[in-house]
């Protein structure tokens, strides 16, 4: 016969034993743990970006505005957005550069080749030249979100990939996982940093700093779920392209006039 003391003891053990596996279910609930698409997937906003390469002159106002707006140290050699210059000569050679991310624009005709110094290109030999602004592609299948070991980087319901500065451990796996090289370590906070289409602005009805700063309308932001949005109209009706589609990341920054030389 069981006495009261034993009964209480056994009950507590059984209850405790049941709670532990139930708690594990809570801890390992995959839906709660997944950082991807945490918001409403079927909402009426999905931010996309449109870059018109024909309109970009490489002034770098966008890079400048971005650095100031998002408090990325001005002189640090990292940037959330940048502009690349492509110079293709008649013999088929492509020279590319982006000195300081084109923060100050392109002030010389020489091509910056890193530690090899500058390269002079004879203007007569140039077949074509153009500028390509780059920023985070806010991919539909973001590699960076997949590889974050602690879920510190996540995608919102409206498609923007964000970083939780209070949770990032700074392993750099997301930096390695991004095929576009948009991620870096913030020089002040020492956590992963990236372009987020100025999420603090677009969610309040404003435009990203780079879009506002561009004097030529080369950068536009839009909502692909709104068929009346002018950006949506261009993307759906004109010949647009994306970068590095082969990685399966489904990038959401669309380019008008993207040439095959663009890396």
Residue whose tokens read 């576009």:
180
208 burial class (0-12, 13-18, 19+ CB within 10 angstroms)?
Answer: buried
Work out which of 129, 147, 162, 240 binds other proteins, going by CB under 8 A.
Answer: 147
Tokens of 251: 């990038």
Restricted to residues 25-44, the positions that interact with other proteins (CB under 8 A) are: 30, 33-36
CA–CA distance, 160 with 261 (Å, rounded to integer) = 28
Say if residue 66 is exposed, middle or buried (CB neighbours under 10 Å; 0-12, 13-18, 19+): buried
Using CB under 8 A as the binding rule, whether residue 18 contacts other proteins is answered as no
Question: Is there binding between residue 105 and other proteins (CB under 8 A)?
Answer: no
Angstrom distances, CA of residue 18 to CA of 5, 10, 13, 32, 196 = 20, 12, 8, 21, 44
Candidates 39, 45, 89, 94; binder of other proteins (CB under 8 A) is 94
Interaction between residue 100 and other proteins (CB under 8 A)? yes
Nearer to other proteins, 188 or 206 (CB): 188
Question: Which positions from 227 to 256 touch other proteins by CB under 8 A, shown as an x/- string?
Answer: -------------------xxx--------
- DSSP three-state, residue 16: helix
Nearer Cβ to other proteins (71/238): 71
Nearer of residues 3 and 166 to other proteins, judged by Cβ: 166
CA distances from 31 to 27, 34, 50, 112 (A): 10, 6, 32, 47
116 near other proteins, rule: CB under 8 A: yes
Applying CB under 8 A, among 185, 212, 225, 226 the residue interacting with other proteins is 185
Among 39, 45, 110, 173, contact with other proteins (rule: CB under 8 A): 173
Cβ neighbours of residue 54 closer than 8 Å, sequence gap 6 or more: 130, 256, 257
Binding site for other proteins (CB under 8 A): 30, 33-36, 76-79, 82, 84, 94-98, 100-101, 113-116, 134, 143, 145-152, 167-173, 175-185, 187, 190-191, 246-248, 263
């Amino acid at each position: 016969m069981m006495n009261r003391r034993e009964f209480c003891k056994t009950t507590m053990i059984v209850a405790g034993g049941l709670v532990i596996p139930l708690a594990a279910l809570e801890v390992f609930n995959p839906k709660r743990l997944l950082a991807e698409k945490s918001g409403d997937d079927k909402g009426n906003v999905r931010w996309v970006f449109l870059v018109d390469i024909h309109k970009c002159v490489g002034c770098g106002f966008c890079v400048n505005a971005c650095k100031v707006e998002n408090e990325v140290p001005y002189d640090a050699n990292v940037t959330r957005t940048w502009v690349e210059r492509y110079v293709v000569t008649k013999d088929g050679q492509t020279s590319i550069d982006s000195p300081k991310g084109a923060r100050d624009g392109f002030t010389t005709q020489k091509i910056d080749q890193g530690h090899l110094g500058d390269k002079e290109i004879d203007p007569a030999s140039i077949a074509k030249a153009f500028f390509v602004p780059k920023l985070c592609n806010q991919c539909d299948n973001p590699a960076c979100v997949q590889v974050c070991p602690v879920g510190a980087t996540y995608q919102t319901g409206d498609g923007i990939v964000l970083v939780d500065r209070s949770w990032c451990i700074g392993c750099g796996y997301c930096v390695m996982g991004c095929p576009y090289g948009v991620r870096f370590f913030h020089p002040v906070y020492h956590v992963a940093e990236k372009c987020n289409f100025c999420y603090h602005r677009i969610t309040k009805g404003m435009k990203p700093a780079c879009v506002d700063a561009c004097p030529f309308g080369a950068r536009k932001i839009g909502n692909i779920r709104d068929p009346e949005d002018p950006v949506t109209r261009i993307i759906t009706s004109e010949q647009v392209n994306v970068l590095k589609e082969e990685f399966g990341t489904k990038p959401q920054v669309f380019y008008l006039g993207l040439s095959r030389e663009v890396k």
